[in-house]
Structure 1
Amino acid sequence: MADKLHHYNVKIVWTGNEGTGTASYRGYSRSHVIQGKGKQPIDGSSDPSFRGDPTRWNPEELLLASLSACHKLWYLSLCAEAGVVVVAYEDDAQGEMVEGAGGAGQFSSVVLRPKVILACGADVEKAVALHHKAHEMCFIARSVNFPVSHAPEVSVEPSA
C-alpha cells in the first residue's frame, strides 16, 4: 500500500497588541486565537512563566493534550477491533520541559496515565497490552523527539 499524505491547516491570530505592538517586551499580551475552518476557536497564550494568561491554553499544554488524545483514539480503536469493551477512559497526562540558560527549551519526557474501565468480563491483560500497540501507532508520539511513556490503570466495572 502506498503512503498517504495528509494535510492540516490552522490559523493563529495574535490578539495581544495593547496599543504599541512589540515596542517593549512587557508592552504586549501573548494572547492569540487558534482557528480552523468549521471549528470552535481556542483561546491561547504563552505559559504564565513566560508572561502568558493562565486562563488560556498554552502550546505546551496543547502538545501534551495532542499526545494524550492520539493515544486514546488509537487505544479505543484497537480495543473495539479486539473485542475489549471500554466503558470509561480518562488520562492525567504529565509532561516535563527543560528551559536552558538562554531561554530555549524542549520537552524531556511525557507520561500518559490513562485510567480505563472495562465492561464486566473483559480481558484485562489484553486491554493492558493494547496500550503498547496504541503507543506504537500514535502519529503524534511517533513524531516527537522525546520519550513518551504510559502508565495505564485498567479495571473492570463491578457486575450489576
Structure 2
Amino acid sequence: MPIGEHHYALTTTWTGNLGTGTSGYRDYRRDVTLQVDGKPELLASSDKPFRGDTSRWNPEDLLVASLSECHLLSYLHACVVAGVVVTSYRDEASGVMREDGRGGGAFTEVVLRPQVTVADASMIEAAQQAHHQAHEWCFIANSVNFPVHHEATVTVG
C-alpha cells in the first residue's frame, strides 16, 4: 500500500476585537471563527479559565474530540476487517491538561471510554481486540506526546 501525504488547510479568524484591540488583557474577547472550504463554520474561543466564551469550542475540547473521533473511525474500520458488526458506539472521553506556572501547559493524558454494541455475542472478544488495532491506526493518537488510554465496554444489542 503506497504511503500518502495529506494536506489540511483552514482559516482561523479572530473576531473578538471590542474596538481597542489587545490594548489590555480584559479589553478583548477570545472569539474565533474556524473555516474550512465547503464546511460549516465552527465558533471557537478559549476555555473559561482563560477568559473564553463557554458556549464555543475551545482548543482543548477540539483536541479531545479529535482523539475520540479518530479512534471511533479507526475502530469501525478495524471491526469491519475483523468481521465484527457494530450497531452503536458512544464515547465519554475526557482529558487532563496541566498548566506549568509559566503561562503554558500540556495535556498529560486523554481517556476514551467507548461504549460499543455489537450484533452478536460471538463478536465481543474481537470487538475488544479491535480497540488495540484502532489505537495503532489512529493518526491523531500517533501524533500526540501523551498517553491515550481506553476503557472500553462491549455489549450485545
Given the two structures, how large is their TM-score scaled by the length of structure 1? Answer: 0.95
Q: Identify the range of structure 1 (40-49 vs 112-121) with the bigger mean alpha-carbon deviation.
A: 112-121
Residue aligning to 1:76:
76
- 1:84-119 Cα offsets, whole Å, 9 max, x none, are 110000100010001011120000000100000111
| 1:119-138 → structure 2 map (5 Å cutoff) | 119-138=119-138
Could you list the runs of 5+ residues in structure 1 that have no partner in the other structure? none
1:107 aligns with 2:107: yes
Cα separation, 1, equivalents of 2:72 and 2:62: 15
Quick one: which amino acid aligns to residue 145 of structure 1?
A: N
Deviation at 1:140? 0.2
Structure 2, unpaired ranges of 5+: none
Q: Matched residues in 1 for 2:5 and 2:120: separation?
A: 40
What secondary structure, in the 3-state scheme, does the structure 1 residue paired with 2:115 have? strand
Aligned residue number for residue 96 of structure 1: 96
CA distance in 2: counterparts of 1:137 and 1:47, whole angstroms: 30
Q: Which amino acid aligns with 2:94?
A: Q
After superposition, the Cα gap between the structure-2 partners of 1:13 and 1:155, relative to the gap in structure 1 and judged at 3 Å, is: same
Distance, in Å, in 2 between the alignment partners of 1:74 and 1:153 is: 17
Task: Report matched runs for 1:47-58 at 5 Å.
Answer: 47-58=47-58
CA distance in 2, matches of 1:111, 1:151: 7
Instruction: Measure the CA separation in 2 of the matches of 1:2 and 1:156.
Output: 37
Q: Is the 8 Å Cα contact of residues 122 and 156 (structure 1) preserved in structure 2?
A: no
Aligned positions, number: 157
Q: CA deviation at 1:81?
A: 2.1
User: Matches of residues 16-55 of structure 1 in structure 2 within 5 Å?
Assistant: 16-55=16-55
Name the SS of the counterpart of 2:66 in structure 1: helix
User: Are 1:84 and 1:122, in contact at CA under 8 Å, matched by a contact in 2?
Assistant: no
Matches of 1:20 and 1:14, distance apart in 2 = 14
Identity in percent: 54
Report how far residue 121 of structure 1 moved: 4.0
Q: CA deviation at 1:122?
A: 4.2
Q: Is the 8 A contact 1:85 1:122 kept in 2?
A: no
CA-based RMSD? 0.9
Q: Take 1:147 and 1:121, find their aligned partners in 2: how far apart are those partners?
A: 30
**Amino acid aligned to 1:150:** H
* Corresponding position of 2:143: 143
List, as ranges, runs of 4+ consecutive aligned residues in structure 1 with deviation greater than 4 Å.
none
Contact persistence 1:43–1:57 (CA under 8 A): yes
